[in-house]
């Protein structure tokens, strides 16, 4: 378990400067004995999961209806006539 915790902390060090701007995350990280970036990554993951559960179908349909025509338009523009 300690190895997993250490790996997660190493992978989330890049988020530490952003998490340091939120005092609640810094306090929680000190109490838990982890870096603040790990708590920020966890909170972001939960928020993303909730967003996908509530609005996933809408996001998927919007992505498909925007990306599909965009890709074909770029292919048409770049193709020789």
Q: What is the mean pLDDT of the chain?
A: 90
Quote the radius of gyration of the chain (alpha carbons, Å): 20
Q: Does 59 score more than 90 pLDDT?
A: no
Asked if 12 and 41 count as a contact pair (C-beta separation under 8 A), the reply is: yes
Q: Does 81 score more than 80 pLDDT?
A: no
Half-sphere CA count of 77, side-chain side, radius 13 A: 6
Instruction: For 35-48, write each residue's pLDDT tens digit.
Output: 999 999 999 999 99
- The CA dihedral of 67, 73, 78, 80, to the nearest 10 degrees, is 140
Using 50, 70 and 90 to split pLDDT, how confident is the model at 2? Answer: confident
- Does the global pTM surpass 0.85? no
Residue in 1, 41, 7 with CA at minimum distance from that of residue 49: 41
């Amino acid at each position: 378990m300690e190895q997993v915790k250490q790996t997660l902390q190493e992978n989330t060090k890049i988020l530490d400067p952003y998490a340091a701007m939120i005092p609640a995350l810094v306090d929680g990280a000190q109490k838990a004995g982890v870096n603040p970036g790990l708590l920020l990554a966890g909170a972001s993951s939960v928020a993303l999961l909730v967003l996908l559960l509530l609005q996933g179908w809408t996001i998927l349909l919007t992505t498909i209806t925007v990306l599909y025509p965009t890709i074909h338009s770029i292919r048409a523009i770049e193709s020789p006539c």
